[in-house]
Amino acid sequence: MSIVTVQLGQCGNQIGFEVFDALYTDSHCPQGLCSKRENEAYQASCKERFFSEEENGVPVARAVLVDMEPKVTNQTLSKAAQSGRWKYGQHSCFCQKQGSGNNWAYGYSVHGPRHEESIMNLIQKEVEKCDSLSGFFIIMSMAGGTGSGLGAFVTQNLQDQYSNSLKMNQIIWPYGTGEVIVQNYNSILTLSHLYRSSDALLVHENDALHKICAKLMNIKQISFSDINQVLAHQLGSVFQPTYSVEGSCHYRRNPLGIDWQVRPPLSGLPTLGKASLNRGLHFNMSIANLVILRGKDVHSADLGGFKDSALYTSWLEPINAFNVWKTQRAFSKYEKSAALVSNSQFLLKPLDTIVGKAWNMFASKAYIHQYTKFGIEEEDFLDSFTLLEQVVASYCNV
């Protein structure tokens, strides 16, 4: 079962590279801590999901690169090719020259329709290379113009064209203190549109990743490259193959593995390790949790804490809300590693903050003319606000 990745904008492409690199590096890690046969099965499964075979033996990432200006995609393509270990397909890239100007409306209403055919054709070609398509992984930021606006447009198209396939969007939550001034507008427009067309939103906050680099990894001068590598590491530990049944040697067939009954509108990926149980006023209620364990002693790990019903909303039994995947094959260099994918109130506060800030700006009408210029009207903003307030309220009442 294969996943086709769509990398959009500078952020999406920079991250995409790190993700494939992490996946490749892990799958070729000699220290698997397991039998040779098992290691080979793992490698084969990873390969099938994320890479297709090129003639001269260099694996080609199952990815489509999209950007509205050429610098980043050129860099990404050459970085991969230079590594000699894996690469992107020669014709997997679509780019233009002028960028989206951090304007969601431009990405969605101008670039989207204009380049719809070309982009969807590229994706189609990639899909055709898969024996069996599991779904799409779309990497994009919320703050800019291409990832956010064009990303929303492409996701909608994927919904229409491949309605039976799973779509998971990896969205990057910008730093609280401006990377882009209109980031809150771009974010609410992105989120409201993705809600209608995506199956799952996997969220990473730049602030959180930054903290990991600073506090857990002690990096002094933190670059976007550092941040992206942390992210890629987390994603790799979630996406790499895991057993489908305890003890079986067959790797899970559906890597995007969303078994949750509840349609998960938002899911969050906190730091590697256990989630902290904060029993204060702001207790974080979960709708669903997925723990992925890799490496030594996975079968003896005590996961009792995750099954506590106090963690979960009253209308869900822990047995339905909590899932565990285990694999003896270690991830990357780590003897033991654990990942938690959580659909909980964790992102309620950040979401609420962004909606609040966007609303304040909207109330003063600042920057609106930049959006109406390209067909996004005040009404579209109001629709987005309404939808997101509903999401906030829903999560509040969990």
Partner 1 sequence: MPRSTRVVGDGGSISKGKICSLKARAVLIDMEEGVVNEILQGPLRDVFDSKQLITDISGSGNNWAVGHKVFGSLYQEQILEKLRKSAEHCDCLQCFFIIHSMGGGTGSGLGTFLLKLLEDEFPEVYRFVTSVYPSGEDDVITSPYNSILAMKELNEHADCVLPIDNQSLFDIISKIDLMVNSGKLGTTIKPKSLVTSSAGAVKKRHQKPFDAMNNIVANLLLNLTSSARFEGSLNMDLNEISMNLVPFPQLHYLVSSLTPLYTLADVNIPTRRLDQMFSDAFSKDHQLIRADPKHSLYLACALMVRGNVQVSDLRRNIERLKPSLQFVSWNQEGWKTSLCSVPPVGHSHSLLALANNTCVKPTFMELKERFMRLYKKKAHLHHYLQIEGMEESSFMEAVSSLSGLIEEYNQLDATKSMPVEDFPRLSIAV
Give residues in contact with partner 1 (CB under 8 A): 10, 14, 69, 71-72, 75, 96-99, 101-103, 145, 175-182, 210, 213-214, 219-225, 227, 355-357, 359-361, 363-367, 369-370, 385-386, 389-390, 393-394, 397
CB-nearer residue toward partner 1: 31 or 394? 394
Q: How far is the CB of 388 from partner 1 (least distance, A)?
A: 9
Those residues whose C-beta lies under 8 Å from the C-beta of residue 127, and which sit 6 or more positions away, are 4, 133, 162
**Closest-CA residue to 94 (of 71, 64, 124):** 64
Query: Cβ(168)–Cβ(256) under 8 Å?
Result: yes
User: Is-contact 204 231, C-beta < 8 A?
Assistant: yes
CB closer to partner 1, 254 vs 390: 390
CA distance 78 to 59: 15
- Smallest separation, CB 74 to partner 1 (Å): 9
Calpha distance 260→320 (Å, rounded): 8
Instruction: Tell me how far, at minimum, the Cβ of 236 lies from partner 1, in Å.
Output: 21
Residue 162 or 395: which CB sits closer to partner 1?
395
243 or 367: CB nearest partner 1: 367
Instruction: Name the residue nearer to partner 1 (CB basis): 161 or 225.
Output: 225
Cβ nearer to partner 1, comparing 195 with 359: 359
Bridge partners (DSSP) listed for residue 337: 294
Q: How far is the CB of 397 from partner 1 (least distance, A)?
A: 6
Least Å distance between CB 104 and partner 1?
Answer: 10
- E-state strands within the chain: 2-8, 51-52, 60-61, 63-67, 87-88, 93-95, 133-141, 166-173, 200-205, 267-268, 286-295, 322-327, 336-344
Residue type, 384: S
In whole angstroms, what is the distance from residue 386 CA to residue 195 CA? 12
Give min distance, CB of 85 to partner 1, in A: 22
Map tokens 């003890």 to a residue.
247
Q: Least separation, in Å, of the C-beta of 117 and partner 1?
A: 19
For residues 182 and 288, which CB has a smaller minimum distance to partner 1 in the complex? 182
User: How crowded is residue 358: how many other Cβ atoms within 10 Å of its Cβ?
Assistant: 22
